Amino acid sequence: MPIKNGFISLKEIDFSKKEFLTNSRFSLAPINTGFGNNGAPTGRLIRFHSDRSGKNIAISYVGNVAIDSAFCTNESTLILRQNEPGWNELTSAISSNGSLPGIQISCRFFNIPANRKWRDNNSVGKVHLYRNFIASLSTHEIDLIFESFLKAAILASEYGFEVLQIHAAHGYFLSCLMNPMLNNRSDKYNIDNIGGVCDLLANIRKYCPDSILDIRVSCFEGLSRDPLNEWNIKIKQIKLLESYGYDIVSLSAGFYDLSKNLIYPGRRDGLNVYLQYCEELAGQLRKALVSVSGNIRNLKDLEQKPSNIVFGIGRPLVADPYFVEKSLAQRENDIKHCVWSGLCHYYTRGYKHIFCKINDDI
């Protein structure tokens, strides 16, 4: 394997895991495929991840799995529930192909359904609604959500997921609690306590000691005019959170209900859109890895990056499950490249699950 660095010093994980992680710095970024049936994984989901594991992919993350049926994004959202054999089948398929099974544990909580539009026409109004909503919740309600997060993390690890990613990006509930423009609470979920996310991480670390713990955050949600302002707050929070036990912090950007462009940067946004933030952060963390997604395309160019930086690949792996393997082998001409057609954004387009212009075998 061309890449040998990064993960080993991370934490005391067993030897076989170290071997997997040292094999590649490239993972399948969390993708909400829409391949759920009443919250349970379908055969298509298992096939999707089976096809996107091994092949120099370190972690195959299942995107957006809700902690409870009350916190789904749409009717296709996966839900972590007990006694669903599909989850074991899914993790076995990923592991036996040679990747670590990862799961993104999420909670979308708002009193208006998820926005289908690419961009909200009244983002200022939406920000007010979100702030009022977060303020209106009782401490007990949030206690229950945090308990559900913990239960979901324990269940996910029992199902065989070795990487537990807490979704605190894209305007999902935890990202709202972490955002000073949205959280003006004065109880234990206040902004100085990073919305309580520190305690959540510490609890998951305590009850899932062998899991690799990951938190996904937006470098900036795009709520203020100055993204750097938002980033300066976020980088401080991420540094503080490190002592609560995460192993990987995964950087993305944006807020689903307001504007999807930051989440799914387009062709004209250029390559490696959030890499500069990732590099800045990587120089300041003590031992966690920083993962970054967003138009990461030329993998060979990234090999010289510091060893605590890893990469999440989304759409290129939807288009071609062999994208990482072919890129590292410099078989550029064999790659079926993503063309940013937007067909995979199924919810925005009113479909039930993803499609791809380049790959009809999904």
Ligand X SMILES: Cc1cc2nc3c(=O)[nH]c(=O)nc-3n(C[C@H](O)[C@H](O)[C@H](O)COP(=O)(O)O)c2cc1C
Q: Which residues bind ligand X (CB under 6 A)?
A: 29-32, 63-64, 104, 167, 169-170, 216, 252, 263-264, 293-296, 312-316, 344-345, 354
Tell me the CA distances in angstroms from 5 to 2, 23, 24, one per residue in order: 10, 8, 9
Q: Which is nearer to ligand X, 13 or 256 (CB)?
A: 256
Q: Report, in Å, the least distance between residue 73 CB and ligand X.
A: 8
Q: Report, in Å, the least distance between residue 233 CB and ligand X.
A: 20
CB atoms near residue 9 (< 10 Å)? 11
Single out the residue of 101, 106, 104 nearest to residue 48, CA to CA. Answer: 101
Helix and strand counts by DSSP (H, E) for the chain: 12, 11
What whole-number distance in Å separates Cα of residue 261 and Cα of residue 265? 5
Q: Is 181 exposed, middle or buried (0-12, 13-18, 19+ CB in 10 A)?
A: middle
Tell me the CA distances in angstroms from 25 to 40, 156, 313, one per residue in order: 30, 23, 10
Phi then psi dihedrals of residue 217, to 5 deg:
-130, 155
Single out the residue of 147, 75, 61 nearest to residue 104, CA to CA. Answer: 61
Q: Report, in Å, the least distance between residue 7 CB and ligand X.
A: 20
Q: Which is nearer to ligand X, 185 or 274 (CB)?
A: 274
The residue to which tokens 């989304």 are assigned:
314
Q: Which two tokens stand for residue 346?
A: 């199924």
Q: Which is nearer to ligand X, 34 or 196 (CB)?
A: 34
**Is 289:308 a contact under the CB 8 Å cutoff?**
yes
Q: Which is nearer to ligand X, 44 or 345 (CB)?
A: 345
Containing 233, the helix (H) or strand (E) segment is helix 227-242
The residue to which tokens 């990732």 are assigned:
278
Q: Report, in Å, the least distance between residue 210 CB and ligand X.
A: 24
The length of the chain is: 362
Q: Which is nearer to ligand X, 13 or 278 (CB)?
A: 278
Q: Report, in Å, the least distance between residue 340 CB and ligand X.
A: 8
Q: Report, in Å, the least distance between residue 290 CB and ligand X.
A: 14
Q: Which is nearer to ligand X, 127 or 313 (CB)?
A: 313
Q: Which is nearer to ligand X, 29 or 127 (CB)?
A: 29
Q: Report, in Å, the least distance between residue 167 CB and ligand X.
A: 6
Amino acid at 323: F
Q: Report, in Å, the least distance between residue 70 CB and ligand X.
A: 18
- Letter string b/e over residues 56-91, b meaning 16 or more CB atoms within 10 A of that residue's CB: bbbbbbbbbbbbbeebbbbebbbbbeeebebbebbb
Q: Report, in Å, the least distance between residue 250 CB and ligand X.
A: 8
Q: Which two tokens stand for residue 217?
A: 């955050």
Give the list of residues 6+ apart from residue 121 with CB closer than 8 angstroms, or none.
Answer: none
What whole-number distance in Å separates Cα of residue 182 and Cα of residue 176? 6
